[in-house]
Chain A
Amino acid sequence: RNLRRFLSDTMANTLRPYLNCIRHTLTAALCLRNFPSQVVERHNKPEVEMGGSKELLLNPITIARNESEKCMIEASVNSVRISVRIKQADEIEEILCHKFTRFLMQRAEQFIILRRKPVEGFDISFLITNTHTETMWKHKLVDFVITFMEEIDKEISQMKISVNARARIVAQEYMRQYVR
Chain B
Amino acid sequence: PHPTPSGLYFLHSAHERDPMSSEEDLKASVTARAAKVSSMLSGDKGAALRTALADPPVTSKSAETKALNAVAVGDVITACGDGEIEAIIEGLSDTERDVLMKYLYKILGDVGQCDKSGQLLKWHSKLLKKTGMGAVVRSMTDRKTV
A residues near B (Cβ < 8 Å) are 14, 17-18, 20-21, 24-25, 27-29, 31, 58-59, 61-67, 70, 75
Pick from B110, B137, B145 the residue with the most CB of A within 10 Å. B137
Quick check: is B28 within 8 A (CB to CB) of the other chain? no
A-B contact pairs, 18 of them (CB 8 A): A17-B122, A18-B117, A20-B121, A21-B124, A27-B133, A29-B140, A58-B141, A59-B141, A59-B145, A61-B105, A61-B139, A62-B109, A62-B111, A64-B109, A64-B111, A64-B114, A64-B117, A75-B140
Pick from B115, B118, B136, B140 the residue with the most CB of A within 10 Å. B140
**Chain B residue at minimum C-beta to C-beta distance from A13:** B118
Bitwise interface map of B from 85 to 115 toward A, beta carbon under 8 Å scored 1, else 0: 0000000000000000000010011110011
B137 to chain A, nearest CB (A): 5
**Chain A residue at minimum C-beta to C-beta distance from B105:** A61
In the complex, which range does the number of interface residues on chain B fall in? 20 to 34
Cβ 8 A contact of A14, one of B105, B118, B141, B145: B118
B132 to chain A, nearest CB (A): 10
Residues of A within 8 A of B111 (CB): 62, 64, 67, 70
B residues near A (Cβ < 8 Å) are 105, 108-111, 114-115, 117-118, 121-122, 124-125, 128, 133, 136-137, 139-142, 145
Pick from A29, A31, A64, A65 the residue with the most CB of B within 10 Å. A64
In Å, the complex CA distance between A63 and B105 comes to: 7
Once A21-B125, A27-B133, A28-B133 are accepted as A-B contacts, the answer to whether A62 and B140 lie under 8 Å apart by CB is: no
Q: By DSSP majority rule, is chain A's interface helix, strand, loop, or mixed?
A: mixed
B139–A65 touching, CB < 8 Å = no
A25–B136 touching, CB < 8 Å = yes
B114–A67 touching, CB < 8 Å = yes
Residues of A within 8 A of B117 (CB): 18, 64-66
**Chain B residue at minimum C-beta to C-beta distance from A29:** B140
In Å, the complex CA distance between A62 and B141 comes to: 15
A21–B137 touching, CB < 8 Å = no
A61–B125 touching, CB < 8 Å = no
Residues of B within 8 A of A27 (CB): 133
Once A17-B122, A21-B124 are accepted as A-B contacts, the answer to whether A64 and B110 lie under 8 Å apart by CB is: yes
